[in-house]
């Protein structure tokens, strides 16, 4: 671990939050939490360089919750996030930390959601608002959101907001918030415009970074699987079944709760597994490690702290079921395998949003981590059949077979059947409860853009967003896919499928740039940015090509969408392709950017 802080209690958090953290199963603060929480509790502004997976959400959420006055039903904290998925996720995190804070109310507001509902909820009041810049700006302009009581402002994933073209909106919001408040800016990288925002709006900020010191790792085979299409548990059991040289494994998860849950699930699937977490006393902990050494257990599911210093030579595999907070933790974890001169294997599960952490680990360890192809059902079946055949061959060489051979002869005679049929029936009996074939389908590989296992939960009309999927390589509209990424470089033409040209009522005269249009459309209609086609910027309006077959809800959402405060009023464009439509334009569009 980067820091030596082992307990949330050392960070100055209240008893009520400490109780909640124990309940949600957080054992120790992550390095970024250990550094940020005391600074924020002291009231300083902060620049946190941290990416998804480091525990940054709790790093800012816990201190801001300490400052909330529950009796005052007014927004006291505002968290800006680049996408609605992140807004929902952050709101969910705050909700989960508010277990012991009765009356606490957090509200996500994001583009694409109905104004009526948002207005109703805003009128009812909330202590914390988590929102995307465009929609927050809208509500501030309409005066449906009042920040007079604001104590904390958080910019989460500031570099993403920049990349998505929201930085002007963010600055606008910063300009329109009361002076007296604490500001926390989190960003995985620090591009110049973000530095500039920090310099302009933060007051003597303290900077916090997680260490990414380079480290060498022993000769351990390192692979990763990008979580997609299959639950982690199913993927884990498939992988463990076909891995060569599997002897014993240690599986790392983040919370105490997860150690117990996963151990139970693996036991139910026939593995001998046990949890190892901070709730176990020294004696129990030693017992688990002894059992792993002796072979009474094959799998131990552990948190980082509980697994510190484990030295069991038969551990052939380390599985990072949950990605570690930093490279140092990764190096510690995988060091539990490949001991005493044996071969070691490290498998890392990476959710789509955690890809950046994977790259950080590769850089820090100066070793590429190869992608792992998930074993197919056939691979698993072949492996099981091979093991079954081996076992049958073993038994055929054993003594005392004559008695059974006699029974088989009797069956053959009595039933008038061949030995093969009887053998098949016996094989079936022998495999009862231990099928050789696995149920279900192999996950269909999806393009990276659509891989996302997160599900928004419990916030208003989260599922009312348009969502339709095309077939094959047809474009899809996706309400909760991976967030769009783009920059100012010309984008490639969209991937396959028919396109329809639309016209929108914003153009150069409104100060609009291509990235503003892409950002708004991607976020409001849930269309992945690479499926957005050519954009023609004119003075007073623009054209944009979108995949054919847009569902009504998406079209409606886009009609109401605003870019730079101007309703875009999206509608099919009737003009000739490069004429700029029926209107008169002062300049030619640059149709091919």
Q: Give the integer Cα–Cα distance in Å for 187 and 219.
A: 33
CB atoms within 10 A of CB 401: 12
| The only residue of 52, 132, 187, 237 in contact with ligand AMP, by rule CB under 6 A | 52
56 binding ligand AMP? (CB under 6 A): yes
Nearest to 133 by CA among 153, 150, 111, 115: 111
Listed ranges 24-32, 176-184, 458-466, 527-535: which one lies at the site for ligand AMP (CB under 6 A) = 24-32
121 binding ligand AMP? (CB under 6 A): no
Q: How many residues bind ligand AMP (CB under 6 A)?
A: 13
57 binding ligand AMP? (CB under 6 A): yes
**Ramachandran quadrant class, 354 (left: phi over 0; alpha: psi -120 to 50; beta: rest):** alpha
572 bridge partner residues:
502
> Least distance from C-beta 334 to ligand AMP, angstroms?
19
63 binding ligand AMP? (CB under 6 A): no
CB atoms within 10 A of CB 560: 15
| The only residue of 105, 127, 135, 254 in contact with ligand AMP, by rule CB under 6 A | 254
Q: Give the integer Cα–Cα distance in Å for 191 and 256.
A: 37
| The only residue of 48, 53, 75, 547 in contact with ligand AMP, by rule CB under 6 A | 53
332 binding ligand AMP? (CB under 6 A): no
Q: Which two tokens stand for residue 388?
A: 């079954």
CB atoms within 10 A of CB 226: 18
Q: Which is nearer to ligand AMP, 15 or 175 (CB)?
A: 15
Q: Are 17 and 9 in contact (CB under 8 A)?
A: no
479 binding ligand AMP? (CB under 6 A): no
55 binding ligand AMP? (CB under 6 A): yes
58 binding ligand AMP? (CB under 6 A): yes
Q: Which is nearer to ligand AMP, 65 or 518 (CB)?
A: 65
Q: Which two tokens stand for residue 529?
A: 């940015």
> Least distance from C-beta 70 to ligand AMP, angstroms?
23
Q: Considering only residues 30-49, where is the footprint of ligand AMP by CB under 6 A?
A: 30, 33
Listed ranges 52-60, 130-138, 214-222, 457-465: which one lies at the site for ligand AMP (CB under 6 A) = 52-60
Contacts of 497 (CB under 8 A, 6+ apart): 470, 473, 474, 475, 531, 547, 548
Q: Which is nearer to ligand AMP, 31 or 466 (CB)?
A: 31
Please give the helix or strand (H or E) that residue 77 lies within, else none: strand 77-80
> Least distance from C-beta 430 to ligand AMP, angstroms?
42
Q: Which is nearer to ligand AMP, 54 or 132 (CB)?
A: 54
CB atoms within 10 A of CB 253: 24
Q: Are 108 and 131 in contact (CB under 8 A)?
A: yes
> Least distance from C-beta 56 to ligand AMP, angstroms?
5
| The only residue of 2, 20, 35, 54 in contact with ligand AMP, by rule CB under 6 A | 54
Listed ranges 56-64, 124-132, 500-508, 520-528: which one lies at the site for ligand AMP (CB under 6 A) = 56-64
Contacts of 153 (CB under 8 A, 6+ apart): 77, 78, 79, 80, 174, 177, 181, 182, 183, 184
Q: Give the integer Cα–Cα distance in Å for 338 and 343.
A: 5
| The only residue of 67, 100, 255, 381 in contact with ligand AMP, by rule CB under 6 A | 255
Q: Which two tokens stand for residue 501?
A: 């040209």
Listed ranges 22-30, 204-212, 390-398, 498-506: which one lies at the site for ligand AMP (CB under 6 A) = 22-30
Q: Give the integer Cα–Cα distance in Å for 211 and 214.
A: 9
Interface contacts to ligand AMP, rule CB under 6 A:
26, 29-30, 33, 52-58, 254-255
């Amino acid at each position: 671990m980067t820091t030596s802080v082992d307990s949330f209690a050392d960070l100055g958090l209240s008893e009520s939050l400490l109780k909640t953290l124990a309940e949600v199963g957080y054992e120790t603060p992550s390095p970024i939490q250990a550094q940020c929480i005391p600074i924020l509790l002291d009231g300083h502004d902060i620049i946190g360089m941290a990416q998804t997976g480091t525990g940054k959400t709790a790093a800012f959420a816990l201190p801001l919750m300490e400052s909330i006055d529950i009796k005052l039903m007014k927004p006291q904290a505002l968290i800006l996030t680049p996408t609605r998925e992140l807004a929902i996720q952050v709101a969910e995190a705050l909700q989960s930390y508010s277990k012991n804070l009765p009356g606490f109310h957090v509200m996500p507001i994001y583009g694409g959601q109905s104004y009526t509902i948002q207005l109703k909820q805003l009128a009812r009041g909330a202590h914390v608002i988590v929102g995307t810049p465009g929609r927050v700006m809208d509500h501030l302009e309409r005066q449906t959101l009042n920040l007079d009581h604001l104590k904390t402002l958080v910019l989460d994933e500031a570099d993403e907001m920049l990349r998505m073209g929201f930085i002007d909106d963010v600055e606008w919001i910063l300009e329109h918030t009361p002076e007296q408040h604490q500001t926390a800016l989190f960003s995985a990288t620090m591009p110049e415009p973000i530095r500039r925002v920090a310099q302009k709006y933060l007051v003597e900020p303290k900077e916090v970074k997680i260490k990414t010191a380079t480290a060498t790792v022993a000769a351990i085979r390192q692979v990763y699987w990008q979580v997609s299409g299959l639950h982690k548990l199913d993927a884990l059991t498939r992988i463990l079944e076909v891995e060569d040289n599997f002897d014993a494994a240690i599986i790392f998860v983040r919370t105490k709760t997860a150690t117990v849950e996963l151990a139970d699930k693996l036991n139910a699937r026939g593995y001998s597994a046990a949890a190892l977490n901070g709730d176990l006393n020294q004696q129990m902990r030693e017992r688990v490690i002894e059992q792993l050494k002796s072979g009474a257990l094959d799998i131990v599911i552990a948190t980082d702290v509980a697994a510190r210093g484990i030295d069991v030579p038969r551990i052939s595999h380390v599985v990072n079921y949950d990605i570690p907070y930093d490279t140092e933790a990764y190096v510690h974890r995988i060091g539990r395998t490949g001991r005493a001169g044996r071969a070691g294997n490290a498998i890392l599960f990476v959710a789509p949003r955690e890809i950046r952490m994977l790259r950080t680990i590769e850089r820090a360890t100066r070793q590429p981590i190869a992608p792992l192809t998930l074993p197919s059902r056939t691979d698993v079946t072949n492996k099981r059949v091979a093991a079954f055949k081996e076992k049958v061959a073993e038994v055929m060489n054993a003594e005392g077979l004559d008695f059974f051979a006699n029974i088989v002869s009797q069956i053959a005679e009595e039933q008038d059947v061949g030995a093969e049929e009887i053998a098949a029936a016996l094989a079936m009996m022998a495999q009862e409860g231990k099928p050789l074939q696995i149920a279900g389908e192999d996950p269909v590989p999806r393009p990276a853009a659509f891989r996302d296992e997160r599900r928004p939960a419990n916030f208003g009309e989260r599922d009312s967003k348009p969502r339709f999927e095309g077939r094959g390589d047809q474009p899809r509209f996706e309400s909760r896919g991976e967030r769009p990424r783009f920059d100012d470089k010309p984008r490639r033409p969209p991937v396959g499928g028919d396109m329809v040209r639309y016209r929108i009522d914003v153009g150069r005269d409104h100060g609009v740039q291509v990235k503003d249009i892409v950002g708004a459309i991607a976020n409001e209609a849930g269309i992945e940015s690479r499926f957005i086609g050519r954009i023609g910027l004119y003075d007073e309006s623009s054209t944009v090509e979108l995949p054919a077959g847009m569902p009504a809800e998406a079209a409606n959402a886009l009609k109401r969408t605003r870019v730079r405060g101007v309703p875009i009023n999206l509608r099919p464009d009737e003009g000739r392709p490069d004429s700029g439509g029926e209107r008169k334009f002062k300049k030619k569009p640059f149709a091919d950017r």
